[in-house]
Amino acid sequence: MLHQAIWRKGNPDWQICGIPEKFYTDHGSDFTSNHMEQVAIDLKINLVFSTVGVPRGRGKIERFFLTINQLFLQDLPGYLGNQTCTSLLTIKELDEKLLNFIISNYHHRVHGTTKKEPIHAWNNSGFLPNMPESLESLDLLLLNVAKPRKVHSDGIHFQGLRYIDTNLAAYVGESVIIRYDPRDIAEIRVFYQDKYLCTAISPEISDYTVDLKDIVSARSKIRKNLKKQLDSGKTVAEEIALSKQKDLEEKLNKSNSKKSKLKRYFNE
């Protein structure tokens, strides 16, 4: 979350970025960890914890959550208060819809206090965001840390996948640290002796956006098949690719179905 908030976004319509001076939060384990404390020190962020049981100390944050709930979540399929729709959204679909809401709606709604659209307030403030020296330096601080991995002749093995990069050839037999974004582990950042070495990709899934849950699900399915002696011979990567292909086909079928219905209605 903090990694995405700080770094420049891939979407040109989302300009907000930079290291915050203060970080208001509650007492969740992620935010009170030694890792978070070290990140705050390195990035010179002042951590401000609200009083336990008193969310008013995070008023602006809670107000934003209320806006998201009232203007976004309650109209989505699967919302508990929405009894008119029985379909559900995947995490990826929810993420895409939230991104679209923030960029197309929230950033252009006039704020009750400033009387300005948030995106205009940001662009016209003359504010120069404080940025990390590089994406790699931010990765070193914030991306999830896995156990040390050894570089093999065919690359780095992680979660049943193989990651390769030409720079790894000189480090065969060496131990490295890998860091990754759990929302997309088609690639990993590789560090050697606390210095960024390269970004290695898993060629079998490089064409897809694959989060850690996809990997866990695929490995679990393979294990269940093995227990039932239904081994299909598929690797984790092949299982993921098959799942992604099915998702794509379902989306195409839904899209064609919608177009078909619109066409019939138009002719009628």
Structure token pair of residue 185: 């582990």
User: Is the model's pLDDT at 160 over the cut of 90?
Assistant: no
Cβ count within 10 A of residue 185: 23
166 and 190 Cβ atoms separated by less than 8 Å = no
In whole angstroms, give the CA distance from residue 1 to residue 23. 12
CB 243 within 8 A of CB 220: no
Question: Domain limits of the chain?
Answer: 2-123, 135-201, 212-267
Per CATH, domain 2-123 is 3.30.420? yes
Lowest mean pLDDT among 53-62, 119-128, 160-169: 53-62
Residue bearing the bigger pLDDT, 220 or 76: 76
What mean pLDDT comes out for the span 35-62? 80
Judged against a pLDDT cut of 80, whether residue 180 lies above it is answered with yes
Give mean pLDDT, residues 237-248.
Answer: 61
138 vs 196: CA distance, rounded Å: 11
Name which residue leads in pLDDT, 263 or 86: 86
Query: Lowest-pLDDT range, 122-131, 185-194, 199-208?
Result: 199-208
**Distance separating alpha carbons of residues 185 and 175, to the nearest angstrom:** 20
> Quick one: average pLDDT of 78-89?
71
Q: 135-201: which CATH architecture?
A: Roll (2.30)
Q: How confident is the model at residue 225 (pLDDT cuts 50, 70, 90)?
A: low
CB 103 within 8 A of CB 77: no
* Average pLDDT in the chain: 78
Predicted pLDDT of residue 266: 38
pLDDT at 171: 96
- Please give the full DSSP string across 81-110, using - where no structure is assigned: T-TT------HHHHHHHHHHHHHHTGGGSP
pLDDT of residue 107 exceeding 80: yes
Residue corresponding to tokens 């195409």: 252
Of the two residues 156 and 10, the one the predictor is more confident about is 156
Residue 150: beta bridge partners?
175
DSSP letter, residue 117: -
